[in-house]
Amino acid sequence: MAKARLKLLSRRPRRLRKRTRRIPRGVIYVQAGFNNTIVTITDLRGQVVSSSSAGHCGFRGKRKASPFAAETTAQTALCTVAMQRAEVLVKGGGIGRDAALRAISQSGIKLTFVRDVTPLPHNGCRPPKRRRV
């Protein structure tokens, strides 16, 4: 009888609490697309410490691309990390990039620099052949 009770107790889902990671310096990557915003925090070696996206925060559809979703995403990614200084690399042309940057600066982390690393084509792909009618 005692074994049956132990099995029932072990089947309960455990709530995992995220530990607060302490790093003195880190890099924050903000990828702001037209449909979603992804925030990733790494240490200086490039190992991911924390990450979050608008879909992970519970936003669906058109609301994932909103500035409010980007702000919530940045706050969620930063809540499990304690660091003093950070470099921010912003990529993409979505409307959530400014809101995410504003949330990062309001969190109390000193930003050493903010760099835009959006890929820009120098000549682009070859266009399709001209249509003849």
Would you say residue 85 lies in a domain? yes
Would you say residue 123 lies in a domain? no
Would you say residue 4 lies in a domain? no
Beta-strand runs (E) in 43-120: 48-53, 81-82, 85-91, 110-116
Question: Which tokens hold the place of 44?
Answer: 């200086």
Instruction: Report the 10 Å Cβ neighbour count for 95.
Output: 14
CB 74 within 8 A of CB 93: no
Would you say residue 122 lies in a domain? no
Would you say residue 96 lies in a domain? yes
Residue 10 banded pLDDT, cuts 50, 70, 90 = low
CB 27 within 8 A of CB 44: yes
Q: For 79-99, what is each residue's pLDDT tens digit? A: 988 889 999 999 998 899 999
Would you say residue 3 lies in a domain? no
CATH code at 64?
A: 3.30.420.80
pTM exceeds cut of 0.85 = no
Domain that includes residue 105, residue range: 20-116
Domain count, the chain: 1
